[in-house]
Amino acid sequence: MNVLIFGSGQLARMMYLAGCPLGVYISAVDVNKEQVVNPVSKARRTISIKQAIEDADAITVEFEHVPEHLLQLAHQSGKLKPGIEAILAGADRVREKRLLEKLNIPNCPHQIIQDIEQIAPAMNQLGDQLILKASRDGYDGYGQWRLTNRADLVKLEDDLSQLDLTSVPLIAEKMLKFDRELSLVGTRSQDGSYVFYPLVENRHHQGQLHLTIAPATNISDALTQQAQDAFKKLGDELGYVGVLAVEFFQIGDKLLVNEIAPRVHNSGHWSMQGADTCQFENHIRAVCDLPIGQTDNYKITGMINIIGLGQFSSTMLAIPGSHLHWYGKEPRAKRKLGHFNLTAETYQQLGKRLSSLTEYLPEEDFPLLVPAAKELQIF
């Protein structure tokens, strides 16, 4: 089978590597250059996008911010999985919020801002502490502004004055005090059936995911059911095919959806060593209409993003359960260059192995490792 992926970054690379043992041939589209390439070598293929679409048995995406004229080409082929509605909802927070409201899925209290003058009334309704998010093209903390008190409103309005809020509105969300961030990654097959990975805990620093602990600790059956119910509502409404990630804020025994990602997701990278079938293979299986692999056999795993740091000692691979995934990118600040998966039999053992890992990595680049290692060792 032939699969065409729109986007040619590390997620396309990992889908390519997962598809090879299945005998699935995968090409990618560099959406910036509008060229068909090999997802690993990035070598250009001597084939047009139109021809690649015709040759493909299935088309998918590695991220939701595909230029809409390219997305429409994929959609018109009838081969795009997941469908265009799901991808557009992941790319546009206004669409996403309207979808969540339509399905009565709990999410953060919010207002849509299409004019700067609407921020003050939003504060009256939501409170003086707000997070404002660009409705498009925001990720890893980019395109976000925090308003912590009303005295800062004038400066914020000045900072935002050059934005075209009619074309790209903002979402003003109430700044919530939540216990932690969780995410659920799962796969919906073409027949409408589901498989789920366990809920995982995501820990962020400066707006970027630094550490995922899988499965998350202290997860009740009720929390798992809430997450899966929300996931199924979204999947059924969208006629979804493939891997979907849903991010949540946990507040006590309740979950609020933070955002959805219609694709394989950073918080599912742990599954490459921690689960019987990783998210990348299951996505390829789903879009190719192959049986979905098991997700309920898993190891306790820590996934650590490598951000901005281009060099370190490879001797850390001697730590039991340690696996390195390098993306082959040029280093630059805040760029995800790779990740570690660290597997263990218990949370205490994972804490000890994380502690061993900290001996090789600078704390300023991996600030969440030491506290996580200490916490898990006494779990």
Same domain, 165 and 189: no
Same domain, 266 and 325: yes
Per-residue pLDDT tens over the stretch 304-317: 999 998 788 889 99
CA dihedral 336, 175, 129, 375 (to 10 degrees): -70
Same domain, 366 and 259: yes
**DSSP per-residue codes, 6-34:** E--SHHHHHHHHHHGGGT-EEEEEETTTT
What's the rounded Cα separation, in Å, for the pair 190 and 187?
A: 10
Per-residue pLDDT tens over the stretch 112-134: 999 989 999 999 999 989 999 99
**Structural contact between residues 161 and 87, judged by C-beta atoms closer than 8 angstroms:** no
Is residue 65 situated within a structural domain? yes
Same domain, 8 and 45: yes
pLDDT in single tens digits along all 379 residues of the chain:
999 999 999 999 999 999 999 999 999 999 999 999 999 999 999 999 999 999 999 999 999 999 999 999 999 999 999 999 999 999 999 999 999 999 999 999 999 999 989 999 999 999 989 999 999 876 655 688 998 888 888 888 888 888 889 889 999 999 999 999 999 999 999 999 999 999 999 999 988 999 999 999 999 999 999 999 999 999 999 999 999 999 999 999 999 999 999 999 999 999 999 999 999 999 999 999 999 999 998 999 999 999 998 788 889 999 999 999 999 999 999 999 999 999 999 999 999 999 999 999 999 999 999 999 999 999 8
Same domain, 133 and 35: no
Q: Residue 41 has what DSSP assignment?
A: T
Is residue 89 situated within a structural domain? no
Same domain, 209 and 354: yes
Within 10 A of 316 (CB to CB), how many other CB atoms are there? 17
> How far separated are the first and last CA of the chain, in Å rounded?
46
Is residue 97 situated within a structural domain? no
Domain span holding position 44: 2-80
Per-residue pLDDT tens over the stretch 237-250: 999 999 999 999 99
Q: Enter the pTM of the model.
A: 0.95
Same domain, 116 and 212: no
